[in-house]
A and B are shown apart, each in its own frame.
Chain A
């Protein structure tokens, strides 16, 4: 006898996501359905507006991965009108972007994902001395004395005894799937709080160059943050020093807290290798080093069926590659709902045909989500840190090969372990170490340029829309923390005629397509055994390993 469970809302994500799963008699997931239950209509709101404003609108798609849509949008408009930006602007944008990756991954690991593996209540019974011993064996991070953990434990006890558990209320504490010893749980809780405090430091880099975080400022043609080492009203050495200090502190935090925690926690779960999913991976590449967008430090390419030996090339302008389907989504297409449209001919016509509200179950045999189903040459693809790490691993990028091998070695598992929920989580950590390194790389590039007397951050040539072509098309892309992100624009008479956005979480959280192929979440949930279907911890683990963002996904 099969039964259907519903997890709605999925918490510790961004936006509104619903999972329905069909279990067999052994409580193993047979089929899963991922439904995005919100939609705002940004693609429609953008029509008719000044393309120079698009970055601000698209940035409001998401405040968690804030910045990436703005960046993609300015790249998209610049591509369409043919604008060039000065090298400093490119470097600063890279620096803002890579800062976002690092901070986003850190917040994801501790605040959005850790509680799937860490039992907060169990930490109450830890022995502070033993906790300290373990912590010191893991890393040189100074906050590791017995007294430190004792004090934390006392605070935690008082908190729990107040009877008001706040964000920890009614959770799955004591669930059989939790495997960490009490002491490791206590370390994780300590670092949960430390990371909550530290993440806000990292984004100060956004404030320096973009005025604020969340939602720093961009502009077409470069950046507005003037650089002049001899001005008291521009980026000068004082601000650069601040950036430098944050970068150094961040690298330390990643090296001494995040990575050791990741390895320590993963060590207790290496038997839990579910959640493989599609085996198809896609990445657009990012962090261009020259004016050529393809000059990125991160490569682009697609992997099909886990075949790392064959990297497929991708082309976002090719009408036959990236396409969106809506056969199972609450939209219609003028060419019929079975059509697959490239974003340059894309349409956004909402049409809800789901059950009347309130409902118990969605009609998963028909349309069931506010997400479109993006496909690459007809294939559903997984995007995100795992895709990027696999691609770099396949391309033998030395830093990635070393780190991946180091982590796999420390855990004593083979490379096949990467194709799993835990692999996804590990890839994010590995990548975070890489991005922390990129932060100082880009900082140094900026300093070198300034030293050489290049202060320019903005190019005014195409600021005035009078100088634009009467009609033009373009696209812009980046790798966002959650994966491959691109925007496509069609400009006519200085206004936006059409704007289409295909987002990482749209790929990952997509519903089925016209051929019935599941999206990445749906595929990854299949075959997962559940300890207790009433307490869907396993569902949360796998879904969280993708770091869902549903406001992004449906926009």
Chain B
């Protein structure tokens, strides 16, 4: 007899109680907009249906999110894709190509209506009818909408899918937009980062599998478990920040002593990510540990917050090369100059009509 691995089986193997499993099923019914009366049917389906299928689409991107994903140490990627989920459709790893590959997507969309996860890496160009990203003769944008139609939930991998990332930086030549600008009627989990940390990626999926529900999200739809606080608030160099001990150039004493990188433009104070706690590549390091300021790669619009080695960006619209302080100083200078000129004017005028008197009014 064939032993089929079901959701229920996977849940049990991971020590999840039946109560949580049932909650998971009702979450699905809610996300589908189904009446509560249908929950038992979903429970039945889940108990007799196999591992959760994942369709992983690639839009305009650099595949570093996939690369990061396969660097996961716990769980390791092989375990994830062979035992925990069913990664049925992914450009980077699938054996089949062309129409055989496309058939898989269509089949899952049909057979697992409302029960598959749509994972998106990269984003979609809206300009010129989507010709800047085409798959199988179709625009990626239309493929994305089509595949989202029956998805249970959407995971937006990386800063591309979550916020737009590099192709969406000015002047955004292709009109690239993040996934949530296109898919409006599904639960979306944003997992930003360029790329996101491997264990954060596998963590988001295993959270769902283990606890039976999507992780709690913050105001930008990021899982609080990984994007709750800023890099700066848990950075091991923070004592140096508080003490005002800063690296002034990458070749000074402070660099070798590991002082704070704030003055080199570190965006840790404005960046929500787990780098300073989970760290990268099985805890080996993270940008700040290697002496480089954080460039804020998990933040919306971070590419346009440059130059990266200054802390505050150039002020848009005013002039290139002008930070907030320069603009402010010009404004103060202009005010002072204006007042000086006015003082001269006043003096001349006062000399002219010293004897005029003016009535006082109530203010």
Kindly supply a per-residue 1/0 record for chain A positions 208-223, scoring 1 wherever the CB is within 8 Å of any chain B CB and 0 otherwise. Answer: 1111111111010111
Q: Does A357 contact B (CB under 8 A)?
A: yes
A226–B291 Cα gap in the complex (Å)?
A: 7
Interface residues of B in 187-211 (CB under 8 A from A): 194-195, 198
Q: List A contacts of B309 (CB < 8 A).
A: 50, 52-53
**Which A44-78 residues have a C-beta within 8 angstroms of B?**
44-45, 48-50, 52-53, 56-57, 60-64, 66
Q: How far is the CA of A460 from the CA of B86 in the complex (A)?
A: 51
B166 lies within 8 A of A8 (CB): no
Number of interface residues of A (CB under 8 A): 108
A256 to chain B, nearest CB (A): 20
Query: Please, which residues of chain B bring their CB within 8 A of the CB of A208?
Result: 284-285, 290
* Across-interface contacts of A535 in B (CB, < 8 A): 100
Q: Cβ of B291 and Cβ of A163 under 8 Å apart?
A: no
**Chain A residues with CB under 8 A of B241:** none
Stretch at the interface among B66-74, B212-220, B221-229, B336-344: B66-74
List the A side residues contacting B66 at CB < 8 Å: 63
Known: A44-B171, A166-B88. A197 touches B251 (CB 8 A): no
Point out the residue from B50, B256, B284, B321 that lies within 8 Å of A164, measured CB to CB. Answer: B50
Looking at the assembled complex, report how far the CB atom of A11 sits from the nearest CB atom of chain B, in whole angstroms: 4
Do A171 and B173 form a contact, CB below 8 Å, given A8-B137, A458-B251?
Answer: no
| Cβ of A228 under 8 Å from chain B | yes
In the complex, chain B residues whose CB is within 8 Å of the CB of A457: 250-251
Q: Nearest CB to that of B197 among chain A residues? A: A212
Determine how close the nearest CB of chain B comes to the CB of A202; give it in whole angstroms. Answer: 10
Contact of B97 among A9, A53, A57 (CB under 8 A): A9
B270 at the interface (CB under 8 A from A): no
B236-257: which residues lie under 8 A (CB-CB) from chain A? 249-251, 255-257
Which B residues touch A39, using CB under 8 A?
Answer: 132-133, 174
CB-CB < 8 A to A159: which residues of B?
82
Judge whether A11 and B249 touch: CB under 8 Å. Answer: no
Q: Does A122 contact B (CB under 8 A)?
A: no
Tell which of B60, B67, B103, B128 has the most Cβ of chain A within 10 Å: B67
CA distance A111 to B71 in the complex (A): 13
**Would B96 and A217 count as touching, CB distance under 8 A?**
no
Task: For A458, list chain B residues within 8 Å (CB).
Answer: 249-251, 255
Give A42 to B165 CA distance when docked, in angstroms.
12
In the assembled complex, the Cα of A118 lies from the Cα of B289 at a distance in Å of 42
Known A45-B173, A64-B64, A551-B63; contact A196-B250, beta-carbon cutoff 8 A:
no
B208 to chain A, nearest CB (A): 17
Asked if A455 contacts B290 (CB within 8 A), the reply is no
Instruction: Determine if A470 is an interface residue (Cβ-Cβ < 8 Å).
Output: no
A224 at the interface (CB under 8 A from B): yes
**B135: which A residues are within 8 A, CB to CB?**
8-9, 16, 37
Query: Do the beta carbons of A204 and B284 come within 8 Å of each other?
Result: yes
- A residues 429-463 near B (Cβ < 8 Å) are 455-460, 463
Which one of B1-9, B22-30, B327-335, B354-362 is at the interface?
Answer: B1-9
Which one of B2, B58, B70, B166 contacts A57 once the chains associate, using CB atoms below 8 Å? B166
When distances are taken between beta carbons in the complex, the residues of chain A under 8 Å from B100 are: 170-172, 535
Task: Give Cα distance in the complex from A228 to B50, angstroms.
Answer: 53
Interface presence of A234 (CB below 8 A) = yes
Whether A9 lies near B174 (C-beta < 8 A) is: no
CA of A469 to CA of B199, assembled, Å: 45
Are A217 and B292 neighbours in the complex by a CB distance under 8 Å? Answer: yes
- A167 is contacted by which of B94, B169, B275, B285 (Cβ under 8 Å)? B94
- A219 and B295 CA atoms in complex are apart in Å by 12
B109 to chain A, nearest CB (A): 14
Q: Is B13 interfacial (CB-CB < 8 Å)?
A: no
B-facing residues in A23-53 (Cβ within 8 Å): 37-42, 44-45, 48-50, 52-53
**B154-202, CB < 8 A from A:** 165-167, 169-174, 176, 194-195, 198
Q: Which residues in B have their C-beta under 8 angstroms from that of A8?
A: 98, 135-137
B288 CB contacts on chain A under 8 angstroms: 211
Among A6, A50, A209, A456: residue with most chain B CB under 10 A: A50
- Decide if A357 touches B137 in the complex (CB within 8 Å): yes
CB of A503 closer than 8 Å to a CB of B: no
Q: Mark A187-201, 1 if CB is under 8 A from B, else 0.
A: 000000100110110
Chain A residues whose C-beta falls within 8 Å of the C-beta of B61 in the assembled complex: 63, 551
Residue numbers in A under 8 Å from B71 (CB-CB): 199-200, 203, 213-214
17 new A-B contacts at CB < 8 Å, known A40-B166, A172-B100, A200-B70: A11-B91, A11-B101, A12-B94, A12-B97, A14-B63, A39-B133, A40-B132, A40-B167, A45-B171, A63-B68, A64-B63, A170-B101, A211-B288, A214-B67, A224-B255, A458-B249, A551-B61
Task: List, sorted by A's number, 18 A–B pairs whose CB atoms are closer than 8 Å.
Answer: A11-B101, A38-B134, A41-B174, A60-B166, A61-B62, A64-B62, A66-B64, A112-B92, A158-B3, A161-B2, A165-B88, A196-B70, A203-B281, A207-B285, A214-B64, A214-B195, A352-B131, A358-B138
Q: Which 3 A-B pairs have the closest CB atoms?
A: A63-B64, A233-B258, A41-B173
- Which of A's residues lie within 8 Å of B, judged by CB? 6-16, 18, 37-42, 44-45, 48-50, 52-53, 56-57, 60-64, 66, 111-112, 115, 120, 155, 158-159, 161-172, 193, 196-197, 199-200, 203-204, 206-217, 219, 221-228, 231-234, 242, 330, 350, 352, 354, 356-360, 370, 455-460, 463, 494-495, 535-536, 540, 551
